[in-house]
Chains A and B, each alone.
Chain A
Amino acid sequence: MEFGPHLMLASLEGAVIAAILSLTAMGLSIVFGVMRVVNVAHGEFFMLGAVLAWYVTSALGGHPALGFVAALLIVPVLVAAIAATADRLILKRINYDADRTIVGTIGILYIIQQTTLMTFGPDARPVEAPFNTRLSLPWFEFGENGFAMFWPWGLSTTSYKLFVIAAAVVILLGLWMVITRTKIGLVMRATQQDSEMAQAFGVPVGTVYSLVFGLGAGLAALGAVLVVPIQQAHYLMGHDPLLLSFIVVIIGGLGSLPGTIVAAILIGMSDGIISVFFSPTIAKIIATLLVAMVLVFRPQGLLGKTAP
């Protein structure tokens, strides 16, 4: 393949990564924005989403689309419920103290991960995509016969990957509507701005916290259900999404939701493109170092305005 089609293929892969990443990172960003805590167990909620999706689809059987739709509806709610319970049992008791929350969520991380290892096992298991037609993509070139369209060998994508990108856009739009147009969103924003004042105005801050923690985990799980037909479910799969979400949230500015989306697209696309053209280890080294440097010299993030 020539450079042009190759780049297009890499961008498509990058767009899929960016779509999943924006959902996962959005979950982390909302939790940080409203509750001011860093949820280290976020990647495990992602993993839990993928693993539960496997359980749901394999329990239902029948046509893959049936199981997939069921997983898409059931799994995020289930994961959100688990997260909200963890919030009630652990985070609420330590008063959302920033340092202790980190230690506590590290504990939750190991509990979820190791429980999955004991029940689900160490194998990676696939979930079948509901539809997976291979689509060849055209490429335009200005040749001797004028402007011509042709189908280079290997330049193709699947209908499912395009669906993932579309689904992420729809979900994020829906989330934006909820936050800006509904009463729940209003209460969330009030708690974010000043939790004590919100409490004084009768907002049940404790319930809002549980809800937000559940919502954050649910978004990660949703991303995982979408990605599991492309990438298999495995008990250690939460590590990379966690690190990437951290990077996205930091680059986008802690607590800034539009910043998170922009950064997710930036990081996801460049991750896809860089890993096609360069050695993945060196790309990761540069990425992690860059993020550390951004935090050191611009703690409010690239797009954030005020320091947290």
Chain B
Amino acid sequence: MTSSRKSTLLHLGVLALLVVLFFVLPPYHAGNLSRIMVLAIYAMGYNLLFGYTGLLSLGHAMFFAAGMYGFGLTLNLGGWPVPLAFVAGVVCAGALALVIGLLALRTAGVAFMIVTLMFAQTGYLVVLYFGTYTRGDEGFVIQQAQRMLGGFDLTSETGRYVTALILFAICFLGLARLVQTPFGRTLVAIRENEERTRMLGYDAGSHKLRALIISGAVSGVAGAAYALLFGYVGATFATVQYSIFPLLWVLLGGAGTTIGPLIGVFFMFYLIDTSSTYTNAYMLIAGVVLVLLTVFAPQGLAGELRKRVFKWLP
């Protein structure tokens, strides 16, 4: 079997597994899994920029929050129908990524991290400042009646799981395809050696900008989906912590691999879920995992697997 056949089978296999798990798992874990899938979309968006293009952003929470508020505010205050509000959320995140990209991509390395961090902090403060509409830290709840899609109840366990799975499948297959295209290959080339890519005649700047826009828009999909499926919009999702999370997930699962983000979110979710029954300082686990990863396994779980066992892993 060629590697591309193997990787197609792997992707379809992961999706099939997720379908089967819904029927097998008890409701509590199925509920967790729909949350994991939505967060995995966020991680995949982050992975495109960090794992494939090699740009470490510390401000992705602003795109997640843009999707979330773009959806939540147009739905709640504007009274838009769900599909339109969802699109509005994604467009908000993509447009924000365009603006941030035009500014932040003028810098590189450490400066890029700090600039994105600063912009995200500004975004968080802006959410707090417009507290009359956003309700600030407290956030607002999207009523059950508003979360219907053509008679399909998105608040039920089944509705939630199916929607999360469909959105996850679209992003999962779409991004897996994208990184195989010449565009995706060029992004990897930029990650490996930007100077040389530019010498070969590729416009590195515009490739990075497009990668950032796609990455931001996918993060926006995750933000809007989170608000839609779990019915809560709050400023917590715009804090630095939510910029650190996707970095953590992608590093844990394996940066620059298609299945890494899902693996990373899955492990981190259950690690925190289990430890938070023992202590309220559950972020300690995140810190320890981050340190261990940077020191011992900079390529993450899927990365280490690829290095040792499955050389064909996409």
Contacts and interface: CB of A to CB of B under 8 A. Distances in A.
A164 B109 CA distance: 37
B125 interface: yes
Interface stretch (B110-118, B171-179, B212-220): B110-118
Contacts, number: 110
Interface in B40-60: 56, 58
B244 interface: yes
B283 A113 contact: yes
Contact of B280 (A110, A111, A117, A289): A117
B110 A111 contact: no
B109 A106 contact: no
B267 interface: no
Interface of B is mostly: helix
A292 interface: yes
A292 B284 contact: no
A90 B295 contact: yes
Interface string A257-283: 000000000000000000000000110
Interface in B270-314: 279-284, 286-291, 293-295, 298
Q: For the side of the interface on B, what is the size category?
A: 35 or more
B107 interface: yes
Nearest to B284: A114
Interface in B211-257: 244, 247, 251
B23 to A, nearest CB: 37
A296 B106 contact: yes
B253 to A, nearest CB: 14
A104 B295 contact: yes
A292 B115 contact: yes
Interface residues of A, number: 38
B115 to A, nearest CB: 5
Contacts of B279: 118
A117 B286 CA distance: 14
Interface of A: 38, 90, 93-94, 98-100, 102-104, 106-115, 117-118, 243, 246, 250, 281-282, 284-285, 288-289, 291-293, 295-297, 299
20 contacts: A38-B114, A102-B56, A102-B113, A103-B293, A104-B290, A107-B294, A108-B291, A110-B287, A114-B282, A114-B287, A115-B284, A246-B114, A285-B129, A291-B118, A292-B103, A292-B119, A292-B122, A295-B118, A296-B103, A296-B104
Given A98-B109, A246-B118, 17 more contacts: A38-B114, A90-B291, A108-B287, A112-B287, A114-B284, A117-B280, A118-B279, A243-B121, A250-B114, A285-B125, A288-B121, A288-B125, A291-B118, A295-B114, A295-B115, A296-B103, A299-B107
